[in-house]
Amino acid sequence: MVFAVVVVLAAVALIHLYVYRRAVHDVTAARRVRRPAAVAFVLLGLAVAAAFLGRRALSPDAARPLHHVAYLWLAVLLYLAALLAVGELVRLAVRFVRGRPSEERRRFLSRVIAAGAGVVAVGTVGYGAAVARRVRVERREVLLDRLPAEFDGYTIAAVSDIHLGPLVDGGDLAEIVALVNAAGPDIVAVVGDLVDGGVDVLGGYAAPLADLAAPTYFVTGNHEYYSDPADWVAFLPTLGVRVLRNERVELRRGAAVLDLAGCDDRTAAGSGVPGHGFDLDAALAGRDPDRPVVLLAHQPVMVEHAARAGVDLQISGHTHGGQLWPLTAVALVDQPVLAGLTRFGPTWLYVTRGVGFWGPPARVGSPPEVTLLTLRAR
């Protein structure tokens, strides 16, 4: 973990150096511009490091201004770096066509590229910051071959990646809860990454969960294991939230039964928390194999296990739908899909984009959603 933090901070530092070089140093030779800009880059870089490392040092309320500044800047920085990298291709093309440019032409080209990158980066992040706060209900239907007729029209509200902490507080969660209640689902599934912190700090922020009108179920995400998962597993039932840890419950409509299973996150086994770990076999043990089953699992990649076990539908989150397109499409290296409904053998997988964000409070190409899934029988 320490090594990973060092690598991330080193990468952020190198990106700052690259962007400063291309967006300031190559644009002007005036020291009266370079020096203040260098100071600003250093201070903003330190703010990013402080936000990243000091999450537990400050209360969420006290940390909020720092996190807004640091992470919005980080988003702008990442887009700037990507756009300036594209600008390198422009430089190569100009040099190939017109030969080595003079100092004056080289500086002019640097200004054009830097100005264009700056406008696009700031505009993109500004747009993404506005979108990130506009949670909407996404309605989808899923046809399940084995679903009894009694469950036709049964609705599940999938909520994921709330990330309670400095940037998402109890007021934000209360708005999400109101949105879910207005949709009127039969049950609510909170599929992980509810919190970024312990119960002692964020328990009050989570209180609006008690206002959910429908029966509510929860499975852990990887971010619960960066906090105090055992405390959250014990605390959430006091808010009326049933935690599913490698277990299942029977949902009934008349004589018909639908199994709802939930498993610990993929990272649980390596977290060092005793007794935690993804175990689908335990969750499905003893069930009637002829009955349909819906699985709650935070990470989409676990659909590999679900398909082998004959699960009818897996509901996941984790990816945020990419959050900052196209920068975070790299998540596809580890996950099969970023969002939406996909078929894997006998199993449907729905990946919700989630309602919150991690890091930058912005979403580009991935608006936040509460997903209302309506189950349909043949």
Which pLDDT tens digit goes with each residue over 148-177? 999 999 999 999 999 999 999 999 999 999
Spell out the long-range contacts of 279-285 with Cβ–Cβ below 8 A and sequence spacing 24 or more. Answer: 279/246, 280/246, 280/305, 280/306, 280/309, 280/311, 281/309, 282/246, 282/247, 283/244, 283/246, 283/247, 283/248, 284/248, 284/259, 284/309
Q: For the chain, what is the radius of gyration of the CA atoms?
A: 24
Residue 180: give its domain's CATH number.
3.60.21.10
Do both 51 and 142 map to the same domain?
no
Do both 141 and 116 map to the same domain?
no
- Residue 103's domain comprises 2-131
What is residue 57's predicted lDDT score, i.e. its pLDDT? 80
Which tens digit of pLDDT belongs to each residue from 63-92?
A: 999 999 999 999 999 999 999 999 999 989
For the chain, what is the largest distance between any 2 Cα atoms, rounded to a whole number of angstroms?
Answer: 82
Do both 108 and 125 map to the same domain?
yes
CA distances from 63 to 59, 71, 163, 310, 313 (A): 6, 12, 15, 45, 39
Do both 6 and 142 map to the same domain?
no
Residues 282 and 284: their CA atoms lie apart, in Å, by 5
Residues 188 and 191: their CA atoms lie apart, in Å, by 9
Contact status, residue 332 vs residue 368, Cβ threshold 8 Å: no
Q: How confident is the model at residue 104 (pLDDT cuts 50, 70, 90)?
A: confident
| Residue that is last in its domain, among 68, 96, 131 | 131
Q: Do the bridges between strand 256-262 and strand 247-253 make them parallel or antiparallel, or are there none, so unpaired?
A: antiparallel
Segment 107-115 shows an average pLDDT of: 94
Q: What pTM, to 2 d.p., does this model score?
A: 0.93
Arithmetic mean of pLDDT over the chain:
95
Do both 77 and 141 map to the same domain?
no
User: What's the gap between Cα 24 and its chain centre?
Assistant: 32
Residue 1 has pLDDT above 70, yes or no: no
Residues 368 and 356: their CA atoms lie apart, in Å, by 7
What is residue 305's predicted lDDT score, i.e. its pLDDT? 97
Specify the DSSP element, H or E, that contains 314: strand 313-316
What is residue 328's predicted lDDT score, i.e. its pLDDT? 85
Which tens digit of pLDDT belongs to each residue from 268-306?
A: 999 989 999 999 999 999 999 999 999 999 999 999 999
Write down the residue that tokens 């089953």 correspond to.
Answer: 293
Do both 45 and 127 map to the same domain?
yes
What is residue 38's predicted lDDT score, i.e. its pLDDT? 97
Residue 195 has pLDDT above 80, yes or no: yes
Do both 42 and 95 map to the same domain?
yes
Which tens digit of pLDDT belongs to each residue from 219-273?
A: 999 999 998 899 999 999 999 999 999 999 999 999 999 999 999 999 999 998 9
Residue 26 has pLDDT above 80, yes or no: yes
Do both 154 and 51 map to the same domain?
no
Segment 128-139 shows an average pLDDT of: 97
CA distances from 339 to 77, 163, 203, 303, 366 (A): 25, 18, 29, 13, 9
Do both 154 and 7 map to the same domain?
no
User: What's the gap between Cα 110 and its chain centre?
Assistant: 35
As a 3-state breakdown, the chain gives helix, strand, coil percent values, each rounded to 5, of: 50, 20, 30
Write down the residue that tokens 């490091």 correspond to.
Answer: 49
CA distances from 163 to 10, 172, 188, 361, 374 (A): 25, 11, 17, 11, 25
Do both 86 and 207 map to the same domain?
no
Number of folded domains that form the chain: 2
Cα four-point dihedral sign 186, 369, 355, 133: negative
Residues 6 and 139: their CA atoms lie apart, in Å, by 41
Do both 306 and 207 map to the same domain?
yes
| Residue that is last in its domain, among 131, 157, 179 | 131
Do both 209 and 175 map to the same domain?
yes
What is residue 36's predicted lDDT score, i.e. its pLDDT? 97
Which positions ≥6 away from 38 have C-beta within 8 Å? 20, 24
CA distances from 320 to 71, 129, 190, 370 (A): 16, 14, 14, 12
What is residue 58's predicted lDDT score, i.e. its pLDDT? 86
Which positions ≥6 away from 372 have C-beta within 8 Å? 137, 138, 139, 140, 155, 156, 157, 158, 183, 185
Which tens digit of pLDDT belongs to each residue from 319-360?
A: 999 999 998 888 899 999 999 999 999 999 999 999 999 999
Which tens digit of pLDDT belongs to each residue from 43-70?
A: 999 999 999 888 778 899 999 999 999 9
Residues 225 and 273: their CA atoms lie apart, in Å, by 8
Residues 23 and 10: their CA atoms lie apart, in Å, by 20
| Residue that is last in its domain, among 131, 150, 168 | 131
